[in-house]
Structure 1
Amino acid sequence: MQPRRGRLTVEFRCRLASPSGEIVEGVYLADTEARLRHELEEKGLYVLSLQAKGAVGGLPIRLKKSSIASREFLVFNQELATLLKAGMPLVQSLDLLKRRVDSPVFRSVLNDVHERVRGGAALSDAFSAHASLFPSVYTASLVAGERSGSLDTVLRRFVEYTKIVQTMKRKTISALVYPIILITLAVALVAIIVLRVVPAFSEFYAGFGAELPLSTRVIVSVSLFIQRQVLLLTIGLGVTVGGMVLWLRRPGQKARFDRAILHIPMLGDIARKFATSQMARTLATLLGGGLPLVNALDIAAKSVGNQFIASELDVVGVRVREGASFAGALEARRVFPEVAVKMAEVGESTGALQDMLNTVADFYDEEISTNMERFVTLIEPLLLVIMGIVIAGLLLALYMPLFQLSSVLS
C-alpha cells in the first residue's frame, strides 16, 4: 500500500484471508485505515483485523512520520548498484533485495516499489510516491541515472555522498559530546550544592544568630527562592522551551534563527562551512548524474540544513534561471565563503564545475574538522576553569562564616 505524497503515513498490522483460505499477516503503510481496507478488498483479500501499529483500543498513538534507518537504506542501495552492475534486471534485483530487508516500513515500501516497477513505472517515480521517507537528493539522482542510462553509477555516487555527509555529522557531534558532558556535570553539581548543601549550612548558621556575610546571604536567599518556587520555575522553563519550539515552527523563523547562528563566534563559521560543503557536494552529485544546474540548485536548497543558507540558495537558483552565472549569483548574495565563490567561478570557466564543487566540499570538510578540533581544544579548559571558579565561589561563600566564627573564638 502506498501513501500519498506529503501525507502523514501510518503503519497498520493486518490479518488477511486470501480467496483460497490462506491466512496472511503483515504490516502495511497507508494514509488512513479506510483507504487501506478499500485497497486490500480491491485485491480480493478479506480483512480479518486491521489496527494501527502502536494503537491502544483501536486508537493510534503514533504521531510522527514513519522513518527508515539510514544504514539499512545505504546497504540496500549498495546491493542494488552491485546487482545492476552485474547485469541483473531491475525488477529481479528489487524482488531479491526486498526479501532481505528487516524493517517492516522499508519492506512495505519496497513491496510497493517492486509492484510499480513491474507494472512499467520508472524507479524514480516509484520512490517518489514515498517522497516523505527519502531525501530529495535520492529521487533526483534516480532521475538523472535513468536519463543517462547509468543507474548503478549514480547509486554508488549517492551512497558515497551520503557516507561522507554522515561522517562529517558524526565527527561534529562527537566533538561536542565532551563539552556537553562537562556542562551537564557542572549544572548538576551546582544544583546539588544550592538545593542540598546550602539549606543544611543555613540551618547550622541560624543557631548562632550572627549576621552572615553578604555572599552567604545571597546564596541562601537564592536557594530558598528555588526551593519555594520550584514548581513555578519548572512551568516557566517548560513554557519558554515550548514557546521557542512553536516560534521556530512558524514560517521564516527557523531561517532567522539559523542566520543568528552564523554570527556566533567560531560556531557560526563552522555552521557556514558545513552548509557550504553540503551544498557543494549535493550539487556535484547531481551534476555528475547529468541533472541540469538549475534543477540541481532547487534540490540542493532542500538538502541544506541551515534554512537561511537554503533560502539564499533558492535566490541563487532564480538568478541562474534568469541567465546569471552560478558564481556571480553566489557572490551577489554575500553569504557564501569567498573561496567557494572563486572555485565555482574557475569551474564554470573551465567546464569542470562538478570537479570544482567536489574540491570545495573536500576543502571545507577538512576545514570543519580542523576548526572543531580547535574549538574543543579551547572550550574544554575554559569550561573547567569556569566550573572551578563557580564551585569554589559557592564553597567559599558557605565556609566564610565558619572562618569568621573560628577567628572570633580564637
Structure 2
Amino acid sequence: MPTFVYTGKTLGGEARKGELEAASLAAATAALRRQQILPSSVTPKKAGLSFEIKIPGLGKGIKTKDIVIFSRQFATMIDAGLPLVQCLDILASQQENAEFKRVLLDVKSSVEGGSTFADALRKHPKVFDDLYVNLIAAGEVGGILDTILNRLSGFLEKSEKLKGKIKSAMTYPAAVIVIAVLIVSGLLIWVVPIFQDMFSSMGQALPAPTQLVVAMSNALKSSWYIIIAVLVAAGVGLNRAYKTPWGRRIMDKAALKAPVLGDLIRKTAVARFTRTLGTMLSSGVPILEALEIVSKTAGNVIIEEAVMKARTSLSQGKTLAEPLLETKVFPGMVTQMIAVGESTGALDTMLTKIADFYEEEVDQAVEALTSLIEPMLMAFLGVAVGGLVIALYLPIFQVAGAASG
C-alpha cells in the first residue's frame, strides 16, 4: 500500500506532519480529515533505498485458516459493538502474517475512504472470493454482519475439513507409488548391472523375463534424461490442456465417470454445492445470484454447466429441482429433497441437511477407498519388486538345475 507524507494543522491551529498509508491520495486526505487534521499538502512518499525482497514460494501465503480466525474474531468484535474501522485496525495490528496484514490495512483504508466493507474486500479477489464478498454484502444490508461472519467461519471450516479428508486419502497411495518407483529404479540402475556382468560370464541364453529386466536397466541408464523429459512434457501438456475449455470438459467428464473415484468426486461436489447454496440463501443472497456464484465454486465444469442450466430454467419460472434432475448430474434423492424444500419454503434448511448427509457419505467413501487401495498397493509393490528379484535369479536357478542334472 502506498505511503503519503502530509503537513497540516488541527482544528485548534496546531501544526502537524507525518506519514500514513492509504490506497490513494483521496483516501489519505479523507483519513486526515477524519482525524480532524486540515492538510495543506499530501504527497506520495518517494521510494528511497529501502526495499523488500520477496521470493515466490518462500513467502507465508494467506491460508483459509487465517481467514477463518479473522472472521471469528471480527464477528466477536462487531457483536460487542466496536466500529468497523476500529475492528480492522485491531485485527491488522495483531496479524502475524505480513501479507494478510497488508490486505487488512488496505481494506481499512478503503472503508475509511467511503467504500462499503464488501466493496473493500472485493479489491482482493485472491483472498476473498465472490462467495465471501457477496455474503458480507448481504450481512451489511441486513444488519447481521456478525451472524454472517460466524456463518462464513463455519462454512470455511467444513470446506477445509472436507478437502483435508480427500487429500489424506490420496497421500498414502501417492507415497507408496513414489517409494515403489524409487526402489525399482534403484534396483535397475545399481543392482541389475552387477547381475548382468555375472550373466555374461555364464555364456548361456537368458530367460525372457531376465532379458526384459536387463533391457529396462540399459534403457534407464542410457536414456534416463529422455524419460524424465517425456514425463515432464506429458505433465505440462496435460496441465495446459486442462486450462483449455475442451480439455477441462473432457477431463472433468472422465473424472465423474471414473470407476472408483468418480463416485467420491460426485458426492464431494454435491456436498459442496448444497453447503454453499444453503449458506448463501440463509444469509439473504438472492437465489439467481447465489446459483451463479455456486457454479463458479463447483470445481468441475460439468457440474458448473448443470448449475447454470438450472439457473436459466429458474429465471424462466421453473423450480430448481426440475432442471437439476434433467441434467442427470445430481442424484435423485438430492433433487427430491430440494423439491420438498422449495414446496415448504425451507430450501436453505433442506440444503444444509443434504450437505450434512453427503459430507458423511464422503467420509465413508474415503474410508472405503482407503481400505480398498491399501491391499492393492501392497500387492503392486510386492509384484513389482518381487518380480524383478525373481527375474534376476532365474538364470542362477537354471545353472543350478543343469549342474544337478
Query: Where do 5+ consecutive residues of structure 1 fail to align?
Result: 3-13, 31-40, 55-60
The whole-number CA distance in structure 2 between the counterparts of 1:257 and 1:183 is 22
One-letter amino acid of the counterpart of residue 180, structure 1: A
Q: Is the 8 A contact 2:277 2:291 kept in 1?
A: yes
> Normalized against structure 1, the TM-score is what?
0.86
Tell me how far apart the structure 2 counterparts of residues 63 and 394 of structure 1 sit (CA, whole Å). Answer: 39
For 1:316 and 1:65, how far apart are their aligned partners in 2?
A: 41
Query: Considering only aligned residues, what root-mean-square deviation do their CA atoms show, in Å?
Result: 2.5
Structure 2 distance, partners of 1:394, 1:78, is 56
Rate the CA distance shift 1:44–1:376 in 2: closer, same or farther, 3 A: closer
Aligned equivalents of 2:254, 2:19: Cα separation in 1: 58
CA contact (8 A) 2:313 2:323 kept: yes
User: In the alignment, which residue of structure 2 is the partner of 1:182?
Assistant: 176
Larger of the two Rg values belongs to structure: 2
Q: CA deviation at 1:144?
A: 1.1
Name the residue aligned to 1:139: 133
Relative to structure 1, is the Cα distance of residues 66 and 394 closer, same or farther in structure 2, using a 3 angstrom cutoff? closer
**Residues 1:229 and 2:223 are matched in the alignment:** yes
- Asked if structure 1 preserves the Cα contact closer than 8 Å seen for 2:6 and 2:43, the reply is no
| Counterparts of 1:230 and 1:177, CA distance in 2 | 26
Structure 2 residue runs without a partner (length 5+) = 8-15, 25-40
Q: How far, CA to CA, are the matches of 1:112 and 1:404 in structure 2?
A: 77
Is residue 45 from structure 1 mapped to residue 39 from structure 2 by the alignment? no
User: For 2:354, which of 360, 385, 388 is the aligned residue?
Assistant: 360
Of stretches 247-256 and 348-357 in structure 1, the one that deviates more from structure 2 is: 247-256
Mapped to 1, the partners of 2:105 and 2:63 lie a distance apart of: 17
Question: In structure 2, do the counterparts of structure 1 residues 307 and 42 end up closer, same or farther at CA, with 3 Å as the change threshold?
Answer: farther
Deviations along 1:358-408, whole A, 9 cap, x unmatched?
A: 011111100011011111111101111122122222111110111111122
* Aligned residue number for residue 305 of structure 1: 299
| Whole-angstrom distance in 2 between the partners of 1:213 and 1:180 | 33
DSSP-derived class of the 1:159 partner = helix
Structure-1 separation of matches of 2:303 and 2:225? 40
Tell me, in whole angstroms, the C-alpha distance in 2 between the residues paired with 1:156 and 1:126.
Answer: 19
Going from structure 1 to structure 2, the CA distance change for 1:224 and 1:42 (only over 3 Å counts) comes to: farther
Q: Which amino acid aligns with 1:288?
A: S
Counterpart-to-counterpart distance in 2, 1:87 and 1:337:
45
1:203 partner letter: D
> Following the alignment from structure 2 to structure 1, what is the Cα–Cα distance between the partners of residues 18 and 143?
42
Change (3 A) 1:369 1:63: closer
Aligned ranges 1:6-25 → 2 under 5 Å: none
Structure 1 residue 409 corresponds to structure 2 residue 387: no
From 111, 123, 127, the counterpart of 2:105: 111
Match of 2:145 among 127, 151, 165: 151
CA contact (8 A) 1:18 1:45 kept: no
- 1:58-90 CA-to-partner distances (Å, cap 9, x unmatched) read xxx759999522222111111110011111121
Maintained 8 Å contact 1:198/1:220: yes
1:272 aligns with 2:266: yes
2:66 pairs with one of 48, 69, 72: 72
Listed one character per residue, the Cα deviations across residues 269-304 of structure 1 (whole Å, up to 9, x for unaligned) are: 000110111110111111111011111101111112
CA contact (8 A) 2:6 2:42 kept: no
Kept after mapping to 1: 8 A contact 2:5/2:42: no
The amino acid that maps onto 1:45 is K
Q: CA deviation at 1:260?
A: 0.7
Is 1:122 the counterpart of 2:101? The answer is no
When normalised by structure 2's length, the TM-score is: 0.87
Question: 1:330 corresponds to which residue?
Answer: 324
How much does 1:334 deviate? Answer: 1.0
Count of equivalent residues: 380
Q: 1:28-84: per-residue Cα shift (whole Å, max 9, x none)?
A: 999xxxxxxxxxx96443332465642xxxxxx759999522222111111110011
Aligned residue in 2 for 1:167: 161
Change (3 A) 1:189 1:302: same
Partner deviation per Cα, 1:308-362 (whole Å, 9 max, x = no partner) = 2122212221221222210011111111121111111110011110011001111
Q: C-alpha distance in 1, partners of 2:42/2:81? A: 35
Q: Distance in 1 between matches of 2:253 and 2:23?
A: 38
CA distance in 1, matches of 2:244, 2:238: 10
Q: Percent identity?
A: 32
